[in-house]
Structure 1
C-alpha cells in the first residue's frame, strides 16, 4: 500500500448519475469511488501512479433536489470532427434551438465527504517516480488549493471545493455517526479500461457514516 491521504470535498450540488436512468439524470445517494478518484486526479495525477479510494465518510445529510435543465439531444460525432480537421468533409452545423431538450435532474444538495485514499506506483513509473515524491507533491498542492483542473461532483457544472485533512487533525463528525447501517444498493465502482471500458459495480453499506471501498481491480472481481 502506498502513502495515505485524507481530503474533505464539498459543494452546493452534486449528481452522480445512475447508468440505468437513460432519459433523465438521477443521482446515487453518495459519491461513487470513480468520482472520488476523479477529484484526487484533478489535484495530482501522473501515469506513474494509480489512486485507490479506501473509504468515504458521508458528512452531511443525504438530501435531494429536482431541477429541469436544458440539454442537447445529440452531439457531433468524433468521425465528423476528424473529417473536418483533415479537410475531407465539411462538418455540418448543429442548430441548438432544434436540438435543445428540457430534462429533469434529481441531484444532491450540499453534499460533503471525506475521502481516504492511497496511491500505488504503476508499471510505467521511472527511477525518479518515488512514492515519497508524489505524496509530497499531492500534499503541497492540496494544502495550497492547487489543481490541474477544477474538480467537480459528478457533473462539470457542479464544481467541488476541497481541503486537505492533516494526520493529526480530528475528523469531522458525520450526520450518520449514530445511525444504523444503511444498504445503498448496487453502485458503479469504476470503469475497467483494460477490458474495453467494462463497468464494475459493488454494493456499499454505510456504517455510522463511513463506507469501506474495496479495491476490485486488486481483488480480481469480474464486472456484473
Structure 2
C-alpha cells in the first residue's frame, strides 16, 4: 500500500560537530556508545525544538545521511549520583549532517484542542521556525551535542552513501510513544518503546510510523497531561 501524500511536509538540514544517539532504555550510566544513525525519536525531538504544539504529532518520513559515518571516543567525567565525579568513555558520531523530511497530523487524543487545528497556520509557522534555526536550542541526541537547523531541498545533492544500494543496521530503538500520542488501546495511558530494523537505501532511511514498528514494549503507566480548551484560556505558544 502506498503512503498517503501530505501537504504539510517540512524539509530541513540538521548538522553539528558531534552526536550521540542511544537507546534511553539501556542508558543507565557508565559508558555510552552511539548508534551509527539517528533514531526516529531523536529527529522528532529536534523537530519539536523547532516548533511543536500538542494539537498535532510530528511524523518523520525520511532522513538522508549526508556525511560519512565517523566516531570519536572521549573521556568524560560525569557527576555521580552520590556526589563527586566518575570516569567514563563516550563514543560519539563526528561531523554529522542530515537532511530530514517530515509532516504533522492532528492528535486525536486531544479533542479539547480541535479549535486549534489550522493546518495552514501551523505549517507556515514551522517553515518560518526552520528558517530561523528553531524556537529552542537544537541537540543531536544529548545536551552536550549542539546542532543547527536550516532549510534545504531534500535529496537535492548526493550524500556519502548515494552509491550504496542497501545497508542494514540490525535491531534498533525507534522511539517512545507517550500516552498523549497513543495509537491503540494497548498504548493508552502508558509509555511504550518501539523497535525496528532500519535499512538505508542509497543513503536514505525511510522511517515507519510508531504503530508500524515490528516490536513494542510497554514500559510503565502514564497519565495524559491535561490542557484547557483553545476556546478558554490557552495561549498561542503554550
Q: TM-score, normalised by structure 2?
A: 0.77
Alpha-carbon shift at residue 141 of structure 1 (Å): 1.4
Map 1:34-45 → 2, pairs under 5 A:
34-45=41-52
Distance in 1, Cα, partners of 2:145 & 2:27: 19
| 1:134 counterpart (86, 97, 122) | 122
1:48-81 Cα offsets, whole Å, 9 max, x none, are 010000011000000000011111232xxxxxxx
1:220 to partner: Cα distance: 7.5
CA contact (8 A) 2:196 2:213 kept: no
Deviates more, 1:125-134 or 1:8-17: 125-134
Q: CA deviation at 1:16?
A: 0.5
Aligned twin of 2:140 = 153
Asked whether the equivalents of residues 2 and 120 of structure 1 are also in contact (C-alpha less than 8 Å), the reply is no
Task: Give how far 1:221 is off.
Answer: 5.2
CA distance in 2, matches of 1:137, 1:21: 34
Instruction: Find the partner of 2:90 among 88, 105, 109.
Output: 105
Q: Partners of 2:46 and 2:213 in 1: how far apart?
A: 24
RMSD (CA atoms): 1.9
Aligned to 2:216: 223
**Are 1:214 and 2:208 an aligned pair?**
yes
Aligned pairs for 1:1-224 within 5 A: 1=6, 3-18=8-23, 19-20=25-26, 22=28, 23-74=30-81, 95=83, 97=84, 100-123=85-108, 124=110, 125-147=113-135, 149-166=136-153, 171-194=156-179, 195=187, 196-217=190-211, 219=212, 222-224=215-217
- Give the whole-Å Cα distance in 2 for the aligned partners of 1:201 and 1:176: 24
Q: Deviations over 1:83-136 (max 9, x none)?
A: xxxxxxxxxxx64x3xx1011001100011011100001132332421111000
- Residue 52 to residue 2, structure 1, CA distance change in 2 (3 Å): farther
Shift of 1:201: 0.5
Q: Name which one, 1 or 2, has greater alpha-carbon Rg.
A: 1
